[in-house]
Chain A
């Protein structure tokens, strides 16, 4: 395994009386796309929300290459793009908003957004307001807003679950391309096993709460993965293995 990027030690979290994490340890490798998958309510989103500082942990330590969250740049993409984007700003200003917070001058902001757009090869009219765009386009804007700061790590919380199937397939491809272009360590929470395996270098399978690592499954299929990958025997067996573990965890009382 590559040198860990994120190290989690002794993480504990409870909601009321429910223990979600109890002394949880985990290492996440650098430069990989890691999908987080597990039974409903096991704390998939809670995990990345704690790593990204959206909710506080009760105990434990999360370090990024030895640094704290406030010392690094990171991006976060919400499931609900409609509520995460700013409807009063055009797509361009939404994407460049984090740069504005960092007091980057307007001219440089424009340059950096244009650079990102060309780099990712995304065709979007950035003069539109979010409500003038399709759901997929809005989520692309969200992802670009997360990427504009050139984050060391990117978190996505079920980013495609509010989209229809056709758009989901398109967005998977887009995310894969973005990941291949940037090589940013990416943590993706997914509730769709096929999506989780298709996109990942490693699938993190969590148990029911209190969550443990049920398995950390490598996915070796070469990128860029395509529809053909889905029927590749090795891919199918990896997926079957993940499903097995998932079923075992679901049935465990």
Chain B
């Protein structure tokens, strides 16, 4: 039998399987329908919510906050990472500080940022940016530091100045690792934004939507908001993967 033909369809098996089990469980009423609504009512709520409902508005809000915090993080972290990475001594002297704050849960910073920025969007975006900055910075710096020595030497032997080596070689060498940082950074930013939307006096956003639906015991809407958040996380990751394939065509080759 030719199994290769089915290969592109393989990822669908998991999805279909999950839906089948879910349908079966709700149909058999093994779980209280208040806790686990059927797939049909969940996707109905998702469709209605995203099509002109409140969920669509919340989705856009969360996209905006996540995108803003990732963009701010990238603008700050990429140049800084390149500078730190191009001098191993400089990086080593700051490594502990970076690792320490990278390991600190960004959610622990909420109270501090609340004092600094109040309860508006600035707090959510800046905490998420803070978390993402350290992840991106760390990856960019390592990407630059791990630039292939032979390639740097090749550029040097051809007469490239330090600045040329930095821009023509190190920067491009670090791109694959930079994208790893961006993908991790955007995932972390989304986590922080959703948590912030739940608890930090928020009026909108997916986190708020999940939390509100749970408070109102509107389970289909709550599951719909969770799926919307999942789709957003997956989509953001995919977005960076597609860009990476376009711009870093040599990655892994």
Contact = CB atoms under 8 A, between A and B. Distances in A.
Whether A associates with B in a native complex is: yes
A75 to B, nearest CB: 9
Chain A: interface secondary structure? loop
B169 A101 contact: no
A86 B154 CA distance: 9
A84 B157 CA distance: 11
Contacts of B154: 76, 78, 84-85
B250 interface: yes
B160 A80 contact: no
Q: Which interface class (under 10, 10 to 19, 20 to 34, 35 or more) fits B?
A: 10 to 19
A58 B24 CA distance: 78
B250 A131 contact: yes
A101 B150 contact: no
Contacts of B160: 101
A54 interface: yes
B159 interface: yes
A88 B158 contact: no
A61 to B, nearest CB: 20
B30 to A, nearest CB: 53
B172 interface: yes
Contact of B157 (A52, A83, A88, A131): A52
A52 B156 CA distance: 11
B250 A88 contact: yes
A228 interface: no
Contacts of A85: 154
Interface in B166-210: 168-169, 172
A129 B249 contact: yes
Contacts of B158: 97-98, 101, 145
Contacts of A78: 150, 153-154
A84 to B, nearest CB: 5
Nearest to A52: B157
B159 A102 contact: yes
Contact of B148 (A52, A53, A83, A131): A83
A87 interface: yes
Interface in B127-156: 148-151, 153-154, 156
Given A54-B157, A101-B160, A87 B150 contact: no
Interface of B: 148-151, 153-154, 156-160, 164, 168-169, 172, 248-250, 253
Interface of A: 52-54, 76, 78, 80, 83-88, 97-98, 101-102, 129, 131, 145
20 contacts: A54-B153, A54-B156, A54-B157, A78-B150, A78-B153, A78-B154, A80-B150, A83-B150, A83-B151, A85-B154, A86-B168, A86-B169, A88-B172, A88-B248, A88-B250, A101-B159, A101-B160, A101-B164, A129-B250, A131-B253
